[in-house]
Amino acid sequence: MAASSSVAPERALALYRTMCEIRAFEQAAVKGYRDGHLPGFIHVSLGQEACAAGACGALVEGDLITSTHRGHGHCLAKGADPGRMLAELYARADGYAKGRGGSMHIADVAAGVLGANGIVGQSMGLGIGAALSLQVRGQPNCVVAFFGEGASGTGIAHEAMNMAALWNLGIVFFCESNRYAELSPYDTHVSVPDVAGRAAAYGFTGVVVDGEDVMAVHAAVAEAAARARAGGGPSLIEAKTYRWHGHYEGDPQTYKPEAERRNDEGLDPIARFARGAAALGLDPARLEGAREEAEARIAAALAWAGSLQSPPAAALTEDVYAGQAHGAG
Amino acid sequence: MRGRPMARVKYYRALNRALHEEMARDDRVILLGEDVGASGGIFAQTRGLYETFGPARVRDTPIAENGFVSAAVGAAMTGLRPVVEVGFEDFLTCCMDPLVNQAAKLRYMLGGQVSVPMLLYTFGGGGVNAGPQHSQSLAAWFAHVPGLKVVMPATPRDVLGLVKSGIRDDNPVLCLLSKKLIGSTGEVTGEGDDTLVPLGAADIARQGRDATLVALGQMRAPALAAADLLAAGGIDVEVIDPRSASPLDMVCIAASVRRTGRLAVVQEAHAPCSLAAEIVAAIAEAGIALRATPRRITPPFAPSPFAPQLERAFLPDAERIASTLRDMVAA
């Protein structure tokens, strides 16, 4: 927590509130899914809240993010509205994607969220494109491209990091290393102990950060984002965290050791923050207030989303093309 | 044409002119690709662009089609209008995801929040003994995907007009150029004339009464040559170059078939699940009465061979096209 002393209590409390919102959002999503109200399938990031909250909490207006199939936390933390997100999960017309995308395609472009994405690794390619756009347009912002250790094995991860270095792009590659890629553990996917070590191959900075510690994540991203905005080029941050749930909701997780399924280590970034809150100048009552606010916000969002209509069949072929209608019917 | 003087230019120079004009017209247009920068390109197709528009807007990429096409999509979502070169059409297999899962779907999938205004051009097709991995014609793959537009210009005029229109379009556009035609010449409007060809509009390359011959991409030239051979024998063929594979101008094709009562389609791509298959099916569904069984004139179902004598046998040529049409008219 060495880096935390420079952060104002209000900022720290905001990060905590964001983590509580992500937790409440995903718990609501999980319940909705189990109760049969959410179609399709969802991937939740319970246990990883410090990554999204810490990283996005270090960004400013005009900064952009690209996200993954496990993107609820990133979108919320960057400012997406939980009501419109839940509306999308519930396949409603008022959802961010008008009910066409679902959990894996939530975006709020106005808030700088260029979208969750269903194809592992593409957040990095799209991310360098957004960073290229900032550079060409002379805009002093940066991009954070979220990915996981599973994506670190894709070709596009290498291609994107190489190009980011060649072109000195203002991007932070943020790896949420959550111990599992789909149904297999880290060492099935990654040939080295730390994904962060890959950065050396491209000639930029790579650091490992405790992904359970929101203040540490925040400090690392604040530094990398400031460098990126100032023309200092890309960097790679690997946040070591733990995915509480399976790859998808309903995944029986038979591949995890029993002790890990029970979370015997007690990994929980929200509880972890609470334990260190006094040192940040925050008393328990303020934490409790923030948690209640977060939960109330999500409850209101859930009630609103549940009240909405499904998209009309006539909307089926809207937005396939920009501009005039395409020839195909 | 507004009375402007015409000029004869080479196919690749028409591409170069289109890129120059659109980059000068709009600061948001950038060019990405392998060797598009200082080297001027493998066919000299990008010569002068780097010097005119600078390294920020004309960028050599590493050999990483998945990565740089994905980057173009990300840039298109965030305020630029990228043009991307992929050297050979066969290499599109290396960037299928950013084209098919990203560029084509992002607008729809994100609820209309973004558009993806980008143009990708590449050189495809056979006839230059380039072998199985450098000769394919894959338009049908991409015409199958909602959200993409696909053009395949076969003349300098259409290269100029379709590339310019494609860059200005707010959707992802694939421009499938022909390697064999790179050095071919044709008439275009003079410098300074803003020549646009609309996407999705076929060109009636030759008018005729007896049969409709639809020629895709660089099959336009052998189709016209076949029409000349047939004319000598009293058969008057209408040759239609669709120019766009998606949207496909079925209005023009159907109107022609209604007049002629006969339909043949010639393409470099294989027959199954192809544009020729689509055109024949659409005419069948339209219930147009035909005087002869419709025909697809295509290569055999085998990869494109290297050996010149084999490739000559592989690709449809004027004689084979003419022979097919003669049979149809005699039937």
Residue B151, beta-bridge partner list: B175, B244
* ipTM exceeds 0.90, yes or no: yes
Whether A166 has its CB under 8 Å from any CB of chain B: the answer is: yes
Confidence of residue B3 (pLDDT cuts 50, 70, 90): low
Residues within 8 A of B (CB atoms), A 104-163 only: 105, 107-110, 114-115, 117-119, 122, 124-137, 155-156, 159-160, 162-163
User: How far is CA B8 from each of CA A158, B4, B157, B187, rounded to the nearest angstrom?
Assistant: 45, 13, 10, 4
Q: How many CB atoms lie within 10 A of CB B277?
A: 18
Q: Reply yes or no on whether B134 is catalytic.
A: yes
The mean pLDDT value for A167-175 works out to 98
**A134 CA to chain B: closest CA distance, Å?**
8
User: Which of A110, A129, A327 is closest, CB to CB, to B71?
Assistant: A129
Could you give the residue range(s) of every CATH 3.40.50.970 domain in chain B? 6-189
Interface of A with B in 94-113 (CB under 8 A): 95-98, 100-101, 105, 107-110
Could you give the CA distance from residue A298 to residue A264 in angstroms, rounded to a whole number?
28
CB–CB of A150/A176 below 8 Å? Answer: no
Q: Which residues of A touch B109 (CB under 8 A)?
A: 97, 100-101, 105, 115
Q: Which two tokens stand for residue A97?
A: 């994607």
Confidence (pLDDT) at B331:
85
Q: How confident is the model at residue A328 (pLDDT cuts 50, 70, 90)?
A: very low
A&B contacts, CB < 8 Å:
160
Label residue A325 by pLDDT band (50, 70, 90): low
Is the CB of A86 inside 8 Å of chain B's CB atoms? no
**Spelled out in words, what is the top-level CATH class assigned to the domain B203-330?**
alpha beta
Pick the CATH number of B6-189 from 3.30.230.70, 3.40.50.2300, 3.40.50.970, 3.90.1150.10: 3.40.50.970
Domains of chain A, residue spans: 9-308
The whole-angstrom separation of Cα A36 and Cα A49 is 25
Q: Rounded distance, CA B94 to CA B69, Å?
A: 10
Closest partner residue to A98 (CB to CB) among B69, B111, B200 is B111
B102 contact A CB<8A: yes
pLDDT band at A327 (very low <50, low <70, confident <90, very high): very low
CA of B149 vs chain A CAs: smallest distance (Å): 9
Q: Which residues of B touch A129 (CB under 8 A)?
A: 70-78, 82
Query: CB B4: neighbour CB atoms within 10 A?
Result: 12
pLDDT for the residue numbered B191: 85
Of A64, A100, A119, the CB nearest to B108: A100
Whether A195 and chain B come into contact, CB under 8 Å, resolves to no
Summarize the confidence of residues B158-168 as an average pLDDT: 98
Angle at CA of residue B26, ends B25 and B29, nearest 5°: 125
Residues ≥6 apart with Cβ < 8 Å to A107: A75, A80, A96, A97, A101, A113, A114, A115, A116, B110, B111, B113, B114
C-alpha B92/C-alpha B88 separation (Å) is 8
Residues of A in contact with B98 (CB under 8 A): 122, 125-126
Interchain CB distance below 8 Å, A319 and B111: yes
B76-109 pLDDT, tens digit each: 999 999 999 999 999 999 999 999 999 999 999 9
Instruction: Please indicate if any CB of chain B lies within 8 Å of the CB of A321.
Output: yes
Q: A236 vs chain B: nearest CA distance in angstroms?
A: 17
Mean pLDDT of A249-271: 96
Residue range(s) in chain B whose domain bears CATH number 3.40.50.920: 203-330
A326: contact with B, CB 8 A cutoff: yes
Distance CA B95, CA B159 (A): 23
Dist. CA B279–CA B295, nearest whole Å: 10
Which among A97, A119, A163 has the least Cβ separation from residue B101?
A119
pLDDT at A189 over 90: yes
Residues 60-99 of B with CB under 8 A from A: 61-62, 64, 66-80, 82, 97-98
Share of chain A above pLDDT 70, in %: 96
Contact check, Cβ <8 Å, B71/A320: no
Give percent of chain A above pLDDT 90.
96
Task: Give residue A268's Cα distance to chain centre.
Answer: 17
Mean model confidence pLDDT for chain B: 97
pLDDT of residue B1: 43
Q: How far B76 CA sits from the closest chain A CA (Å)?
A: 8
Q: How distant is the Cα of A312 from the closest Cα of chain B, in angstroms? A: 14
Q: Are A321 and B110 within 8 A, CB to CB?
A: no
Instruction: Look up residue A129 and give its two tokens.
Output: 């494109």
Cα distance between residue A190 and residue B18, in whole Å? 45
Q: Using 50, 70 and 90 to split pLDDT, how confident is the model at B192?
A: confident
For residue A126, give the chain B residue with the closest CA.
Answer: B74
Condensed to tens digits (0 to 9), the pLDDT of residues A12-24 reads 999 999 999 999 9
Angle at A292 (CA atoms; ends A287, A295), nearest 5 degrees: 125
**Which of helix, strand or coil describes residue B175?**
strand
- Tell me which CATH code domain A9-308 carries: 3.40.50.970
Average pLDDT over residues B265-272: 98
* Closest CB to A64 among B78, B117, B247: B78
In a mutational test of the B interface, the residue from A63, A69, A156 whose CB has the highest number of chain B CBs within 10 Å is A156
Going from the C-alpha of B90 to that of each of A215, B42, B87, B161, the distances in angstroms are 48, 16, 9, 24
Q: B-contacting residues of A 45-64, CB under 8 Å?
A: 64
- Which residues on A lie below 8 Å from B64 (Cβ)? 159, 162-163
Q: What is the pLDDT of residues B37-55, one digit of tens each?
A: 999 998 999 999 999 999 9
Q: Is the pLDDT of residue A260 over 60?
A: yes
Q: Does the beta carbon of A168 lie under 8 angstroms from any beta carbon of chain B?
A: no
Q: Which residues share a beta bridge with A146? A: A174
pLDDT more than 70, % of chain B: 99
Bond before B247 cis per omega within 30 degrees: yes
Nearest to B70 among A125, A136, A328 (CB): A125
Kindly report the nearest CA distance between residue A103 and chain B, in angstroms: 11
In this prediction, residue A7 carries a pLDDT of 82
Contact residues, B window 181-210, toward A, CB-based 8 Å cutoff:
200
Mean pLDDT of chain A: 95
Nearest to A133 among B80, B115, B200 (CB): B80
Q: Which of B271, B327, B150, B208 is nearest to A327 (CA)?
A: B150
What 3-state class would DSSP assign to B123? strand
- DSSP element (H, E) containing B229: helix B220-232
Residue A5 above 80 pLDDT? Answer: no
Residues in contact with B122: Cβ distance below 8 Å, sequence separation at least 6, in sequence order = B85, B86, B87, B88, B89, B91, B92, B174, B175, B176, B177
Sequence letter at residue B184: S
Classify residue B188 as exposed, middle or buried by CB count within 10 Å of its CB (0-12, 13-18, 19+).
buried
